Amino acid sequence: MQRRRIIQSGLASASSMLLGDAWAQSAYPNKPIKMIIPLAAGSAVDSAARIVSQKMAMNMGMGIAIENQAGASGLIGAERVAKSPPDGYTLGGFNDSIMTMLPSFHSKMPWDILKDFEPVSLVATIEWALVVPTDSPIKTAADLIEAARKAPGKINYGSGGNGSPQHIAMALFALQSGIQLTHVPYKGATQAAVGTAADEVQTCLQGIATVSPLVKAGKLRILGIPAPKRLPQFADIPTVSESGLPGYEMNSWFAVMAPTGTPKAVIDKYQSEVVKALADAGVREQFASQGLTPLGTTPSELAVLLKAQLNRYGKLIREAGITAG
C-alpha cells in the first residue's frame, strides 16, 4: 500500500511537471476557461465570481464561462471541480461553507478540501443581511426574537440547504438569543431568499448580494446587518447588534480553487490575475454596492486560512450541536 502511494504521488508530480512544461511552451490561455460555482445563480458567491471573472477575462483576452452546479449545499459542484483535469482550464469558485463547514456534517466526503484542490486566492468577504418579507410585522431583530419566544418553533427560516452557511448562521442566531426556530432548507440561497419574499418562511440570513434585488424591488426588508459596525455603503441600516442581538456577527468569504495537480505556473498566473482584477476601480465599486469586500491573497495564505477555519467551524458546530438535518 505504501509503495502504491509513493508511485501514485510520483506519477502525479510527473504529470504536473509535464503539464507545467506544456503550459509554459504554449500561448496561454488558448481556449476558454470555465469556473464552476457549486451554488445557484444569483447567490452572493455567483455575483462575486461573475464580477471578478469578467474583468479577468478582459485582461487575459480569453473568455471565462461561469457554470452553476448547485446541489447538496455545494458537494456536487465541488466534486466536479475535484475530478476535472488539472490542465489549467477549470477553476472552482467556493464559499467558506463548502470548504470549511460541510466537512463537519459528513463522515464520508467525496473530496478532501486540503488534498483535492489547489488554493489560488481568497477573493472577497461577503457581508450579510437579516431579512423578512416587506409586509412582516417584525421590524427589528429584537421583534424576531420576541416573536420566537412567544411561539417556540413556529418561526421558520430559509437557507440554501442543510449545512449551508445560511443554516449555520441562523442556528447560531437562535443559539445566541436562546430561541427555537424551524429550519426550511431550499435548493440554494437564491431560492431561500425568493421563498422568504413570498412569505413561505418568515425570515432568512443571506449575503447582501443575494437579497439586494429583492430589497430594491420592495419584496424584502433588512432588519440588520451582522457586522461589527455599520457598513459605509449601507449607513442607514443598523447592525444586528443595534437591532436586538448584541454581539452577533456573521459573514462569509469567496475563494478561487483549482483541481490538485494544476501546474504551479498556472496557479500563480490565476492568482496574479485575480489580484489585478480586484485592483480595478470598477470592480471595487461593484463589490461595494453588493456588500463585498475585495481581498486577494497568495495561495499559501489561503491554505493557512482553510486549515484554521476547518478547525474553528468544526469546534463551533460540535459545541453548538448543529446537525445537517
CATH of the domain at 170: 3.40.190.10
Using 50, 70 and 90 to split pLDDT, how confident is the model at 97? confident
**107 and 144, same domain (yes or no):** no
10: pLDDT strictly greater than 50: no
Q: Counting beta carbons within 10 angstroms of the beta carbon of residue 192, is it exposed (0 to 12), middle (13 to 18) or buried (19 or more)?
A: buried
For residue 124, is pLDDT > 80? yes
CATH value at residue 115: 3.40.190.150
pLDDT in the model for residue 43 = 86
The answer to whether the beta carbons of residues 28 and 271 sit under 8 Å apart is no
Query: What is the tens place of the pLDDT at every residue in 178-201?
Result: 999 999 999 888 999 999 999 999
Handedness of CA 209, 210, 214, 217 (dihedral sign): positive
User: Quick one: 150 and 11 in the same domain?
Assistant: no
Work out whether the CA dihedral 253, 101, 145, 319 comes out positive or negative: negative
Please give the tally of structural domains in the chain. Answer: 2
Residue type, 25: Q
| Grid coordinates belonging to 325 | 438535518
**Do 222 and 298 reside in the same domain of the chain?**
no
- Segment 51-73, tens digit of pLDDT: 999 999 999 999 999 999 988 88
Does 164 lie in the same domain as 66? no
Instruction: Give yes or no: residues 260 and 122 share one domain.
Output: yes
Domain boundary among 251, 274, 300: 251
Q: Look up the pTM and report it.
A: 0.79
